[in-house]
Amino acid sequence: MGGCVSVQVSCDQLLNHLGRCFCRKLYYIQNIKENLTSLEEAMEDLKALRADLLRKVQTAEEGGLQRLHQIKVWLKRVKTIESQFNDLDSSRTVELQRLCCCGVGSRNLRLSYDYGRRVFLMLNIVEDLKSKGIFEEVAHPATRAVGEERPLQPTIVGQETILEKAWDHLMDDGTKIMGLYGMGGVGKTTLLTRINNRFCDTDDGVEIVIWVVVSGDLQIHKIQKEIGEKIGFKGVEWNQKSENQKAVDILNFLSKKRFVLLLDDIWKRVELTEIGIPNPTSENGCKIAFTTRCQSVCASMGVHDPMEVRCLGADDAWDLFKKKVGDITLSSHPDIPEIARKVAQACCGLPLALNVIGETMACKKTTQEWDRAVDVLTTYAANFGAVKERILPILKYSYDNLESESVKTCFLYCSLFPEDDLIEKERLIDYWICEGFIDGDENKKGAVGEGYEILGTLVCASLLVEGGKFNNKSYVKMHDVVREMALWIASDLRKHKDNCIVRAGFGLNEIPKVKDWKVVSRMSLVNNRIKEIHGSPECPKLTTLFLQDNRHLVNISGEFFRSMPRLVVLDLSWNVNLSGLPDQISELVSLRYLDLSDSSIGRLPVGLLKLKKLMHLNLESMLCLESVSGIDHLSNLKTVRLLNLRMWLTISLLEELERLENLEVLTIEIISSSALEQLLCSHRLVRCLQKVSVKYLDEESVRILTLPSIGDLREVFIGGCGMRDIIIERNTSLTSPCFPNLSKVLITGCNGLKDLTWLLFAPNLTHLNVWNSRQIEEIISQEKASTADIVPFRKLEYLHLWDLPELKSIYWNPLPFPCLNQINVQNKCRKLTKLPLDSQSCIVAGEELVIQYGDEEWKERVEWEDKATRLRFLPSCKLVLYNR
């Protein structure tokens, strides 16, 4: 019949096949005792082999080496098989009792067959592990992945399980790209940060870790810039390349590296090939991880099994809330803990809300205050349905509890900056002073102090987060959900959206259409692609206009400024293609703050000199600027910033600056000896100096640089100079600090200097960079410092020493270094064989000291103070090779 198939098998073949199967099963049962004995002996041998190996590894690690990755893999496999053996051995007695007929039979053939087979297979695995457990090398010089360890909030609760799950998933050979999704404020960035820091702290063969914040406006060039900075591509030549050319450069570099790319806060598909990111594969071992609010974005990135980051459970939420509120407040009345649980419950398990509301309630010590919080928060829950809709009103409770209207106004002002933007504290306070939120008319120092106090209040309330790159405390940022809340409040809970127009980072090509310009009080168009600004909007209430970082902007019409009589702050910085301003800028009669830094403006408009109320003028890094002549007409100026200009600073300009009677802050660049002498002889200007750059002075013009006391000096840059020494004026006391506020110093290309002993008189120095100065032998000279009873570098956080071939000593004795986080010794510092450390150094510092070096042999040459010092700091030495 069609469709039928006849299969003939001989009886002998069938019997042989059945016989072989039976004999194999019988073998597993008959040899259980023998194989168990062999397995026990093999496991003893394997454990002994592991113990010997671990002793070798421990010895190598005490010498500052790191165990090989293959050692880690082998030890992990031994641990796994040991656990499986223990499970197998636990049922040994039962299984042996099941045997019968002198061990050749069983009362339950299936169970005995399964057990015997497991014993046989495990014996083979153990023997294989033994054969692979002989290693000629067990460790190699410590190599740390080049990456940036990112700051974390001190209180993190309920993430350990998902952190380990995410880490294991990402490190699985089958995972190339991992997506983390969840609602805003749930802890995605914190989780990704912890993954980033784990890569930076462990040796998993990863060579470079790259962190990029993407945010809502996905701009390829911005991502390329972030990546370029991490891998050493920067400068004018790199910046002028097209996106395609940059993509090729990035691809060529990363294709030769094992990298990890971490993308935070993506809102749509990121085209990795357009950026220049090689595809991660099992062969190259590269990984990509990202965070997003939308599960659909994960699918668009090719991740179909993303990990959801969820709100905390009730117990974890309560633990986090308790830690934020504090035991003192919770125990201040017996009824408060019960009420506090209701407040915590109203936060819906969202870590951001628990942090913010917890900080708000930390000072509430009466039941009436806590009952009020419950009433307000439960009302929000009733009026808003979904958790996402409730969060902004919940967070607003923290805003409502801020101590004053001025603090509230300062907080809302921070929402004008782009999402995830790092906001420089100093710049922010300058805005606030010019806006009038802080009274700066009488005392600049007092006004700045008040500004820092407000920032401290907002940080303590968890409404701002402190720290930028390398945990730089000079910056703050807003969580994107807190920023949403601030914009919601600024728009009068969305009832008057045109009051405050914020389109920062939206990718706009033109000024947005506004329904009614007459009601607009603040407008932020930061980081867009606007090319030209036309029109004559009538803006009687506009006080703040942010137009910075529109890199395509080439023209602003004069008509645009005609009807802005109350404009106080105008920021046009980082508009690198803007080459001019209209004279009609003179009509901004109320203007107090003007920032033109990093623009291509060649000549300042005549109308600018009519801005009689102008208090703050920033002209830094205007490389095309030809002159600032006439600046003394701006008699109300308090802050003038003139760093990094190509124009020569003339004596006549210094004389104009001296005539500014209200001047309080001056940043300036000096490239002539006559201008330097004039500057240092002017008591008025020296008193105002905050940052100074001295460049290209040869030995003949300034053989010895003599510095007076400069009380407000914050930063010093000395580059390309030939002076033989830097000394302090003779009439200055050698026991009092000459530079009490100096925090950052960079010395580079100064080939005549042999030491920097003058730094003894900068007690609050936090960052010291000394590069490419071939005669420097000591940082602090023992001979010169003998008359000064001063312990230096008590506030130093970062010490970077590069290309110093004659450097032999930083300091002759061990120093306490209570704040030191990092020492970086790179390239041609071969004579520096001893660091001023002992076992008691860096005890007070919050983080363990990291010693980075770029010469593989340098670590072997280091002479430690004693064995205790060596054991303490040798494990902190990390080989890091930079592209400079």
Task: Report the candidate in 17, 349, 297 with the shortest Cα–Cα distance to residue 157.
Answer: 349
Task: Report the candidate in 222, 462, 193 with the shortest Cα–Cα distance to residue 325.
Answer: 462
Task: Quote the distance between the C-alpha of residue 260 and its chain's center.
Answer: 15
| Letter string b/e over residues 803-840, b meaning 16 or more CB atoms within 10 A of that residue's CB | bbebbebbbeebbbbebbbbbbbbbbbeebebbbbbbe
Task: Report the candidate in 422, 188, 161 with the shortest Cα–Cα distance to residue 292.
Answer: 188
pLDDT number for residue 14:
42
* 287-292 vs 259-266, strand pairing mode: parallel
Q: For residue 461, give every residue at least 6 positions away whose Cβ sits within 8 Å of its Cβ, in sequence order, or none.
A: 356, 359, 360, 398, 402
Return d(Cα 766, Cα 821) in angstroms, integer: 10
pLDDT number for residue 668:
96
Q: How many residues does the structure list for the chain?
A: 884
Q: For residue 815, give every residue at least 6 positions away whose Cβ sits within 8 Å of its Cβ, in sequence order, or none.
A: 791, 792, 793, 836, 837, 841
| Greatest Cα pair distance in the chain | 120
Element (H, E) at 393: helix 387-400
| Residue linked to tokens 């109350």 | 566
Task: Report the candidate in 664, 635, 631, 662 with the shortest Cα–Cα distance to residue 645.
Answer: 631
Measure Cα distances from 76 to 141, 142, 620 in Å.
Answer: 22, 20, 56
Return d(Cα 737, Cα 199) in angstroms, integer: 41
Q: Indicate the Cα dihedral angle 660, 662, 664, 668, nearest 10°.
A: -20
Q: 673-681 vs 651-658: helix axis angle to the nearest 10?
A: 20
Between the two ends of the chain, the Cα-to-Cα distance in Å is: 82
Q: Which two tokens stand for residue 706?
A: 């003599």
Return d(Cα 577, Cα 39) in angstroms, integer: 75
Element (H, E) at 458: helix 444-460
Q: Which two tokens stand for residue 231?
A: 């891998």
pLDDT number for residue 64:
62
CA angle 279, 284, 289 (to 5 degrees): 55
DSSP state of 224: H
Averaged over successive runs of 10 residues, the pLDDT of the chain (884 residues) comes to 45 45 62 85 91 86 68 84 87 75 63 83 90 82 65 76 92 91 92 90 80 86 88 80 93 91 94 94 89 94 93 92 94 94 92 92 94 87 64 90 94 94 94 94 86 94 80 85 92 79 92 93 95 94 96 94 96 96 95 97 94 96 93 95 89 94 95 92 94 90 91 95 90 70 96 95 96 95 86 94 95 94 89 93 75 84 92 84 53
Return d(Cα 546, Cα 502) in angstroms, integer: 9
Return d(Cα 373, Cα 159) in angstroms, integer: 27
Torsion over CA: 19, 25, 30, 35 (sign) = positive
Report the phi/psi class of residue 436: left, alpha or beta, with left for phi > 0 and alpha for psi in -120 to 50. left
- Three-state SS for 626? coil
- Three-state SS for 433? helix
pLDDT number for residue 600:
95
Return d(Cα 469, Cα 448) in angstroms, integer: 23
Task: Report the candidate in 527, 503, 511 with the shortest Cα–Cα distance to residue 415.
Answer: 503
Element (H, E) at 594: strand 593-595
* Residue 180: Cβ within 10 Å count: 26
**Backbone phi and psi for residue 264, each to the nearest 5 degrees, phi listed first:** -100, 135
Q: For residue 81, give every residue at least 6 positions away whose Cβ sits within 8 Å of its Cβ, in sequence order, or none.
A: 46, 122, 125, 126, 129
- Three-state SS for 679? helix
| Residue linked to tokens 């004053």 | 404
| Residue linked to tokens 């200007």 | 685
Return d(Cα 802, Cα 360) in angstroms, integer: 46
| Partner residues linked to 616 by β-bridges | 593, 639
Given a contact cutoff of 8 angstroms between Cβ atoms, the answer to whether 28 and 104 are in contact is no
* 99-100 vs 105-106, strand pairing mode: antiparallel
| Residue linked to tokens 């085209």 | 271
Task: Quote the distance between the C-alpha of residue 177 and its chain's center.
Answer: 22
Residue type at 396? K
Return d(Cα 564, Cα 556) in angstroms, integer: 14
Residue type at 874? L
Task: Report the candidate in 115, 157, 209 with the shortest Cα–Cα distance to residue 322.
Answer: 157
Sheet containing 475-477, strands listed edge to edge, beginning at the edge strand earlier in sequence:
423-424, 475-477, 465-466
